[in-house]
Structure formats: structure tokens, C-alpha cells
Amino acid sequence: MSIYPEKTQYTSEDLAAIIALLRDPEKGCPWDKVQTHTSIRMNFLEEAYEAVDAIDLNDPALMCEELGDVLMQVVFHAQMEQEQGHFTFAQVCDGVCRKLIERHPHIFRGDTGIKDWDTLKNIEKGRVTLQDDLESVPLALPALMRAAKLQKRAARGGVEVQADADTVAEAARKAQTADEADRQAAVGQMLFAAVALARRLGVDPEQALQYQNAQFTAHPTSCQEAEPPHSC
């Protein structure tokens, strides 16, 4: 049985040590020691979403707790990599500190030539084309959020997605009349057009849909059609 010393204040170093103990092949927790990056992938996303909920609720106590859960996930994944001899949590911290310094030369080096984070990031990553920039958008992002980010980067590269009510309406008509084989693509085009319109109006499409989800949850009959009764 492992006994961890009681302290008035625990630190990030304690967190790393506790996770290492939980992962110990012989004395560790039966659940923790068998986890992999893949097995707890969704846990990472869920903890991040719970932290965002706490931010939206403007609840400092809950935010403190949920940020701790996110940090635990970071340390957990770093510990698994340390066990493989790849990198440590200390190296994760070192890397992000160096990144912040490198991408803020106007703050830390007195260089006022470039202040744009994305420009510095693209230089650092060797991204020279629009295609490079688009392919770097994470695939795991929620679809609406990813569409908005893709369109934003495309616009930065001089490519604007058509965005007006007529375009969205036409895409909706095509989706409604599409054959079953083409229906998914047609709906995707409709949603992509709706994201473009939202961006043109200065609205974050992800937050807009989250707001509408909340409205529907509170008043589920408010957007109920006469026929069919289950549609909205």
C-alpha cells in the first residue's frame, strides 16, 4: 500500500508523482495502470468541455475544480509517454514556455516586427501554402467549429466562401430534394453555407447553436411544427 504524505498545499510536482504512483505496474491502481492514450481520449475531451461549462457559468469554484481535471489529463498522458521514454511532464512545461516566448517577440525580445500569433506559428511550422494551413486544423474539433476555423483561414489566404441567405436557402432546397446517396453531402453543404453566413454576420456558429440547444431544452415545444409533431 502506497502512502502519500499529507501537505497543506500540493503542487504540480505532487500531481505528477501521484499519477506515477497510480500507474505503477505492481502497486498502482488496477484501472489507472492499464489505460492508454486511446482508452482515455474521450475523457480528455469531456474534461475540457466541463471546464468550458464552468467558464460559461462564471463559477470560480467549479472552474478551479474542472481546470484541475484538465491538468490531471495532461499529466496522465505525459506520464504514459515518460514510461515509454519519449518525454516528461517537465518537458511539456518547458516546451510550452519556450513556445510562448518565441511567439511573443514583441513582449520578450523587443522585436515589434511581427505580432501576429498565426503568422509566427506558420513560420515555425513551415506552413507556406493555404493547403498547409487548412490541413493543420484539428480533425477532432466539433464540425461547426472546424468549419468556421477552415473558412477563417481560407479567408486569410484570399479565399472567401459565399455567404448570404440565398446561398443557404438554395443549399437547403438541394438537401431536401437530394437522393438518399447524396443527402449527407447536400446537408453538409447546407451547414457549411450556414457557417459562412454566421461568420459574415459576426456570429460564432458553434456558440449560436449551443444557445439554440439551450433554448430548445428549456422550451422544447417552442419550435414544434404542426406536422410532423416531432420535427423542429
Q: Is the pLDDT of residue 116 over 80?
A: no
Are 32 and 40 in contact by the 8 Å Cβ rule? The answer is no
List pLDDT tens digits, range 163-207.
899 999 999 999 999 999 999 999 999 999 999 999 999 999 988
Q: Comparing 12 with 127, which gets the higher pLDDT?
A: 12
Q: What CATH code would you report for 12-101?
A: 1.10.287.1080
Residue ranges of the domains in the chain? 12-101, 103-136, 145-232
- CA 75 to CA 149: how far, in whole Å? 28
Per the CATH hierarchy, to which homologous superfamily does domain 145-232 belong?
Answer: MazG-like (1.10.287.1080)
Distances (CA, A) of 66 to 69, 100, 118, 127, 163: 5, 23, 28, 34, 37
The pLDDT score that the predictor gives to residue 9 is 97
Are 47 and 73 in contact by the 8 Å Cβ rule? The answer is yes
> Cell digits for 218?
428549456
Q: Is the pLDDT of residue 109 over 70?
A: yes
- The residue type at 216: F
Q: Is the pLDDT of residue 13 over 90?
A: yes
Q: Is the pLDDT of residue 44 over 90?
A: yes
Q: Is the pLDDT of residue 224 over 90?
A: no
Q: What is the mean pLDDT of the segment spanning 33-60? A: 94
The pLDDT score that the predictor gives to residue 134 is 87
Name 164's Cβ contacts closer than 8 Å, sequence gap at least 6.
Answer: 197, 200
Name 62's Cβ contacts closer than 8 Å, sequence gap at least 6.
Answer: 54
The pLDDT score that the predictor gives to residue 115 is 61
Q: Is the pLDDT of residue 6 over 60?
A: yes
